[in-house]
């Protein structure tokens, strides 16, 4: 598993700057004025820092960007990284600046001198997020080392990195799960890793196929009929919020998706290792909640399955009865994620009576066509609940865009032989998928469906992540849960 850079806070010691090894990072405000740490570095380097700040190179840098002064004379450090950032910079800019630091870290330790920057925790979060590289299956010439990053500030007692670390650990957990190949992250291995979260105080229960059959979760089971890998459901419970009903998070965990009998084209099928991204995000949120001891009640449920074609696989045209009791005509076995979620959503409501429910899935290519890789698709039956999430996502810089639901779309999944079919026509595919899921949500339960097909894994780096798994949603859902808890406490 990928380890975080070791973040710590220390009191600023100007005399220690000269002897600091590895990398030294100094913040310089856009007006070019040198703060106390910068002035010390300038003196040690015989004016090199001031000359750089007065150059066109610094002038053309944007807020949050960074450049290196290599092998600075008068210092033990290999490089001085100069970051351009105003003291009152926004959270987003501080994270961007931190990401510039994290991207350049490598194996070397770093001494970071934030100066008078107000949002030091946001700077640290950016450092942690960007210094990520999934190397579990690479043969490396030497052992992977985890750098130590010390943020030296005048008042270390005012900087608390515990929440930063908890959030970063959750995001890394999600990224690692999404990055794993399917021959490693089987449903059994996935469940094992979730059971290990019990050491953090989560209650974790694994449901095997015989139990799922007893519960009538036939839609979930139908997806895995063609695979030798056993279908499972894992339920993670965090109960630190008193007697209040929990918030339920439900994730699609298709560890590999061939499309089943409705076989996908071969080109790009290797990317379908990430089709468990919804379950990965739910798992990361639950880990973060436990690590930061959040005073909330949240239950995370993930359906784990592999969608493969063989003689036992579900056929197009098969009719399957759901846990709810409704029947589904399976037109396309590659529209399997909604079958996984439907039964797990119903189980969540029947068992936990949640006060609100969110499901996440890499559900449709149609959502990627509509929104690209900038935004997840958001669907909801409750405006206030949805707006609260959108506000949280915007605050965390995680793109999300609301798409409609409606009776007209619902009519597109009407079946001639069953209560509904699992796909509609080609147009509006992300919406008809959401309409299908809505059939398995009780009218009095605030619900939201997040289609994360375009944002769970990307082919180019983002501000806070290298290319590949992003961990999208861990931050926004943590914030949304906190906001809902604060609002409930205020009303109480």
Q: What is the largest CA-CA distance in the chain?
A: 82
Using a 10 angstrom Cβ sphere, with 0-12 exposed, 13-18 middle and 19 or more buried, the burial of residue 407 is exposed
Q: Any long-range contacts for 212-217 (C-beta under 8 Å, 24+ apart)?
A: 212/343, 215/323, 215/347, 216/321, 216/322, 216/323, 216/325, 216/343, 217/322, 217/323, 217/343, 217/344, 217/347
251, β-bridge pairs? 302, 360
Torsion sign across C-alpha atoms 137, 138, 143, 147: negative
Using a 10 angstrom Cβ sphere, with 0-12 exposed, 13-18 middle and 19 or more buried, the burial of residue 328 is buried
Q: What secondary structure does DSSP assign to 357-369, as a single string?
A: EEEEE---HHHHH
Between CA 155 and CA 164 the distance in angstroms is 18
Nearest alpha carbon to residue 430 among 379, 358, 357: 379
Between CA 179 and CA 171 the distance in angstroms is 12
Nearest alpha carbon to residue 484 among 282, 171, 162, 245: 245
> Strand ranges (DSSP E) for 208-363?
232-239, 247-257, 297-307, 318-321, 327-330, 356-361
Give the CA angle between residues 321, 324, 325 to the nearest 5°: 45
Is 192 marked active-site? no
Between CA 361 and CA 168 the distance in angstroms is 21
Is 264 marked active-site? yes
Catalytic pick among 39, 43, 193, 264:
264
Catalytic pick among 40, 84, 338, 438:
338
* Dihedrals phi, psi of 455, to nearest 5 degrees: -120, -15
Q: Which residues contact 173 (CB under 8 A, 6 or more apart)?
A: 1, 280, 283, 284, 287
Q: Decide: 63 and 86 in contact? Cβ < 8 Å.
A: yes
The one-character DSSP state at 269 is G
Catalytic (active-site) positions: 264, 338
């Amino acid at each position: 598993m990928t380890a975080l850079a070791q973040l710590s806070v220390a009191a600023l010691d100007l005399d220690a700057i000269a002897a600091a090894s590895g990398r030294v990072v100094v913040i310089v405000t856009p007006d070019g004025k040198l703060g106390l740490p910068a002035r010390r570095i300038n003196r040690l380097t015989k004016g090199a820092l001031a000359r750089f700040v007065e150059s066109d190179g610094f002038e053309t840098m944007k807020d949050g960007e960074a450049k290196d002064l290599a092998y600075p004379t008068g210092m033990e450090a290999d490089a001085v990284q100069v970051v351009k950032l105003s003291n009152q910079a926004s959270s987003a800019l501080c994270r961007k600046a931190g990401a510039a630091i994290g991207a350049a870290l490598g194996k070397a330790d770093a001494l970071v001198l934030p100066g008078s920057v107000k949002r030091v925790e946001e700077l640290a979060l950016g450092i942690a997020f960007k210094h990520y590289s999934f190397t579990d299956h690479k043969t490396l010439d030497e052992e992977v080392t985890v750098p130590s990053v010390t943020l030296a500030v005048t008042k270390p007692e005012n900087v608390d990195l515990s929440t930063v670390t908890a959030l970063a650990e959750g995001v890394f957990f999600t990224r690692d799960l999404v990055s794993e190949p399917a021959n490693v992250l089987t449903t059994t291995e996935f469940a094992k890793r979730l059971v290990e979260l019990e050491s953090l105080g989560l209650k974790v229960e694994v449901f095997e196929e015989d139990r799922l059959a007893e519960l009538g979760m036939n839609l979930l089971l139908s997806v895995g009929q063609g695979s030798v890998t056993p279908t499972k459901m894992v339920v993670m419970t965090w109960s630190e919020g008193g007697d209040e009903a929990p918030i339920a998070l439900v994730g699609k965990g298709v560890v590999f998706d061939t499309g089943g009998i409705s076989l996908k084209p071969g080109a790009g099928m290797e990317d379908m290792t990430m089709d468990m991204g919804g379950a990965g995000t739910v798992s990361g949120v639950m880990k973060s909640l436990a690590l930061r001891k959040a005073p909330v009640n949240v239950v995370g449920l993930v359906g784990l399955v592999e969608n493969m074609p063989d003689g036992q696989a579900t056929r197009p045209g098969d009719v399957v009865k759901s846990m709810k009791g409704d029947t589904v005509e399976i037109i396309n076995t590659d529209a399997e994620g909604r079958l996984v979620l439907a039964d797990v959503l119903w189980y969540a409501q029947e068992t936990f009576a949640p006060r609100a429910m969110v499901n996440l899935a890499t559900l449709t290519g149609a959502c990627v066509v509509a929104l690209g890789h900038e935004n997840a698709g958001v669907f909801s039956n409750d405006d206030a609940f949805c707006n609260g999430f959108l506000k949280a996502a915007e605050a965390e810089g995680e793109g999300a865009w609301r798409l409609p639901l409606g009776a007209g779309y619902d009519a597109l999944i009407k079946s001639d032989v069953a209560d509904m079919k699992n796909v509609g026509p080609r147009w509006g595919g992300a919406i008809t998928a959401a309409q299908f899921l809505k059939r398995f949500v009780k009218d009095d339960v605030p619900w939201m469906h997040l289609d994360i097909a375009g944002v769970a894994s990307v082919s180019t780096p983002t501000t806070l992540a290298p290319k590949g798994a992003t961990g999208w949603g861990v931050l926004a859902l943590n914030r949304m849960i906190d906001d809902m808890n604060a609002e409930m406490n205020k009303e109480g």
